[in-house]
Amino acid sequence: MPNAKLLLQYDGTDFHGWQIQAEARTVQGVLTDVLSRLEHRPVTVHGAGRTDRGVHAHGQVASVVLTREMSETEWQRALNANLPPDVRVMAVEFVPPDFHARYSAVSKTYRYTLCLGPVLSPFLYRYAHHFPFPLDLAAMREALEAIIGEHDFASFGTRERAGKTTVRRVYDARLWCEGDLLHLEITANGFLRYMVRTLMGTLCEIGRGRWRASDMERILRARDRREAGPTFPAKGLTLLRVRY
Amino acid sequence: MPNAKLLLQYDGTDFHGWQIQAEARTVQGVLTDVLSRLEHRPVTVHGAGRTDRGVHAHGQVASVVLTREMSETEWQRALNANLPPDVRVMAVEFVPPDFHARYSAVSKTYRYTLCLGPVLSPFLYRYAHHFPFPLDLAAMREALEAIIGEHDFASFGTRERAGKTTVRRVYDARLWCEGDLLHLEITANGFLRYMVRTLMGTLCEIGRGRWRASDMERILRARDRREAGPTFPAKGLTLLRVRY
C-alpha cells in the first residue's frame, strides 16, 4: 500500500477552491472522484495548501494511500487520462508512509501577479490583477523587509478560530518585474487565509504613496485587520511550490 | 468621420469565431454591439481575417468608420471599458478613408502551437494542441520548404466557391521550439480555411515518419484534400499579425 505524493498544477478559474464541497466543483473533489474510481473504493486526498476559489497552483502537493498495483508513471497517466484539462498531475512519487502533504510541509511559496500596463491581455486576465497605476517599487521593497522573519500576521488574515496562532515565519519575500507584470513572491512556513492578497493590497497603497514604507511595521504591530489595505482578487494568486 | 484601425487581441476559446452570427457569441458580434452602443447607431466592422471558432488572435485588425468626437486613446479606453475581458483593443489609429482591414492587408501571419511534452499544462490547454510523440524536426523543416512561394493550396483547404482561386503566396514558413512547445509560423498573402491546421497535421505525419519530407510536394501538386493529413484542432491556432 504505497503512500503517494502527487505534484499538481491547476487553473483555479473554474474551481471553487481546493477543499472538497458537496455541491461545488473543487480540485480536491475532482481528484477524490477520479482516485476513488481508479481504486474502486473511497479514498482520502490530503493537500498541502487549501487554495481559495479562483486561486491557481503551479506546484500544489497532495498525498494519498493507493492500493492498486501500478507504477508511478502508470498512476500519472491514469490520473491525467481521467482528470479534466484544468488539473494536471505533473509527477507521482511513492513516499514513506509517514509523509503527509500538509503536516510534512516545511515551507510554501505563493506568487501574486499584477499587470501594470494600460491594457490587460486576454491571455492573462485569468492570472493577473489589472492595476494600471504608477507604483514606487523602491518604497514597496522597503516595506516588504518588515515582514521577513517571525511575526504575528493578524493584520493580514481572516481571524483564526480561538486558540489558533496567527504567527508565521516568512523566509523570503521579493518583488520583481517581467515586462509590465509585477510579481510578489513570498516563502513562509505557512500563510493565513487572504494573507498574500492583503499584503499585495497593502503594498500597493504604499506604492501609490497613500502610505509610507515605514507604515508596514506599524500595521504588522497593530494585529488588526482594519489597519491593512484591501484584499486583492484571487485570480492573481498562484501556489508556486511546497518544500518538504 | 475618421476611419479607424483597431488592433485586437482575443482568446478564442469562448467565441464562435470572428464572423457575426445571429445566435452565437462572436468577436465581430461583440465588437459591433459595443461600437454601435458607443456610436448610437448601427456600425459595420470589417476584420482582416475571419478566424474560426476557437482560434485566437494576438494581432487581428479591424476597421470601422466612427463619427463621435473622441481621440484615439479615448476610443481605446471606451472600447476596453465596455468589451468583455477576453477581447482587448491594443491600439486605435485613425487612418485614411480608403483603408480597409481586409482589402488593404498585404500579408498575415498565423502561428500553430503544439505541446510535445508528456503533460499539457492547465495554463496552456486552451492555446496548444497536445502531441506527445517524437518528431523528426529536420524532415518537417525540409517538407516546409515546398510550400514557400506561390502554389495552389487546394489540398490543404476546404473547397472554395466556384470561381474562387485556391492559389496563395507563402512568404515565410518556419518551425521553432520553445521548451516543449513547437511553433509553426506562416506568413502569406492569404490563407484558405483550415490551411494552417491541415499543414500542421500533414507536417506531423511527416515528423512521425508515416510520410517522407518529399511527399509534401506530391500532396501540394495533387490539389486534393484527401491527400493531405488531418486538420488539427482550432485551439492551437493564433492570428499573430497583419501587415499593410
pLDDT digits (tens, 9 = 90+) for B71-83: 999 999 999 999 9
**Residue to test with chain A: of B123, B130, B180, B237, most A Cβ within 10 A:** B123
Look at residues A191, A132, A133, A129 and name the one whose alpha carbon lies nearest to residue A165: A191
Domains B3-95 and B107-243 share a fold: yes
Q: All 3 cell numbers of residue A128? A: 493577473
Q: Could you tell me the residue ranges of all domains in chain B?
A: 3-95, 107-243
A220 and A98 Cβ atoms separated by less than 8 Å: no
Q: Where are the beta strands (DSSP E) in chain A?
A: 3-10, 46-47, 56-65, 87-95, 107-115, 129-130, 149-152, 167-178, 181-188, 237-243
B31-52: average pLDDT: 97
pLDDT digit string, tens, across residues B149-196? 999 999 999 876 777 899 999 999 999 999 999 999 999 999 999 999
Average pLDDT on A127-142 reads: 98
DSSP track, A160-172: PPTT---EEEEEE
Mean pLDDT over residues B100-111, rounded? 97
Q: What is the pLDDT of residue B158?
A: 82
Model confidence pLDDT, tens digit, residues A60-92 = 999 999 999 999 999 999 999 999 999 999 999
d(CA B50, CA B190) in angstroms, rounded, equals: 11
The minimum CA-CA distance between A150 and chain B, rounded to whole Å, is 34
Percent with pLDDT over 90 in chain B: 97
- Give the C-alpha separation, B186 to B116, whole Å: 20
* DSSP 8-state symbol, A23: S
Q: What pLDDT, on the 0 to 100 scale, is given for residue B182? A: 98
Q: Give the residue from chain B lying closest to A123, CA to CA.
A: B11
pLDDT score at A1: 78
- Residue B163 confidence (pLDDT): 77
The answer to whether B85 contacts chain A (CB < 8 Å) is yes
Q: Which three cell numbers stand for residue B206?
A: 511527416
The interface predicted TM-score of the complex, written ipTM, equals: 0.91
Closest CA to B16 of B55, B63, B57: B55
Residue A164: is its pLDDT beyond 90? no
Alpha-carbon distance of A27 to A19, in angstroms, equals 7
pLDDT of A225 reads 94
pLDDT at B161: 73
CATH code of domain B107-243: 3.30.70.660
Calculate the alpha carbon distances from A96 to A33, A93, A162, B175 in Å. 24, 10, 34, 45
- Given B11, B33, B52, B224, which residue is catalytic? B52
The pLDDT, as a whole number, for residue B65 is 97
Asked whether the predicted pLDDT for residue A116 surpasses 80, the reply is yes
Contact B90 A119 (CB under 8 A): yes
Please report the pLDDT score of residue B1 as a whole number.
78
Q: Radius of gyration (Cα) for chain A, nearest Å?
A: 19
Q: What is the mean pLDDT of residues A221-244?
A: 97
Give the gap in angstroms from C-alpha B77 to the nearest C-alpha of chain A: 9
Distance CA A50, CA A18 (A): 5
Determine the Cα–Cα distance for residues A86 and A109; give it in Å rounded to an integer: 21
If we measure between CA atoms, which residue out of B170, B175, B171 comes closest to residue B153? B170
Q: Which residue has the cell 448601427?
A: B42
What's the confidence (pLDDT) of residue A159?
73
Q: Across residues B43-63, what is the average pLDDT?
A: 97
- Please, what is the average pLDDT of chain B? 96
Share of chain A above pLDDT 70, in %: 100
Taking the CA atoms of residue A224, residue A234, residue A240 and residue A107 in that order, the dihedral angle to the nearest 10 degrees is: 20
Residue A240 φ/ψ, nearest 5 degrees: -80, -50
**Between chains, do A10 and B88 touch, taking CB under 8 Å as contact?**
no
A11 and chain B in contact, CB less than 8 A: yes
Q: List A238's β-bridge partners, or say none.
A: A56, A111
Is 3.40.50.1820 the CATH classification of the domain at A3-95? no
CB pair distance less than 8 Å for A122 and B11:
yes
Are residues A93 and A5 in contact, defined by beta-carbon separation less than 8 angstroms? yes
pLDDT beyond 80 at B47? yes
Q: How confident is the model at residue A94 (pLDDT cuts 50, 70, 90)?
A: very high
Mean pLDDT in residue range A29-47 = 98
Residue from the list B85, B89, B122 with its beta carbon closest to the beta carbon of A11: B122
Cβ–Cβ under 8 Å, residues B207 and B227: no
CB spacing of A119 vs B11 below 8 angstroms? no
The whole-number pLDDT of residue A40 equals 96
Q: Do B88 and A119 touch (CB under 8 A)?
A: yes
Closest-approach residue (CA) in chain B for A83: B122
